[in-house]
Amino acid sequence: MAQLKDALGDAYRIEHELRRGGMSRLYLATERANDRRVVVKLLPPDLADDVTVTRFRREIEMVSMLVHPNILPIIASGTRGAIMYYIMPYVPGETLRHRLERENPLQVDDAVRILHELGGALDLAHAHGVVHRDIKPENVLLPDGHAVLTDFGVALALAHRRPSGRLTGAGTGVGTPGYMSPEQALGEREVDASSDVYGLAIVGYEMLAGKAPFTGPTLQAVLAAHVRDIPPPLSTIRPEVPKTVSDAIAKALAKDPAKRYPTAGAFREALGGVSARGGTGVAGPRRRQAIAAATAVAAVALAIAAWIFLRGRAAP
Residue 126 vs residues 25, 37, 104, 121, 316: alpha-carbon distances, Å: 27, 30, 30, 9, 75
Give the span between the Cα atoms of 185 and 157, in whole angstroms: 19
Residue 35 vs residues 9, 29, 49, 233: alpha-carbon distances, Å: 15, 10, 34, 49
Give the span between the Cα atoms of 201 and 213, in whole angstroms: 10
Residue 289 vs residues 284, 286, 301: alpha-carbon distances, Å: 9, 5, 18
Report whether the peptide linkage leading into residue 105 is cis, meaning its omega lies within 30 degrees of zero.
yes
Give the span between the Cα atoms of 88 and 24, in whole angstroms: 14
Cite the beta strand spans of 33-138 per DSSP E: 36-43, 76-80, 83-89, 130-131
Catalytically active residues, by annotation: 134
To the nearest 10°, the Cα dihedral for 137, 98, 172, 70?
40
Cite the beta strand spans of 11-165 per DSSP E: 12-21, 24-31, 36-43, 76-80, 83-89, 130-131, 140-141, 148-149, 156-157
Give the span between the Cα atoms of 28 and 42, in whole angstroms: 11
User: Count of CB atoms within 10 A of residue 276's CB?
Assistant: 6
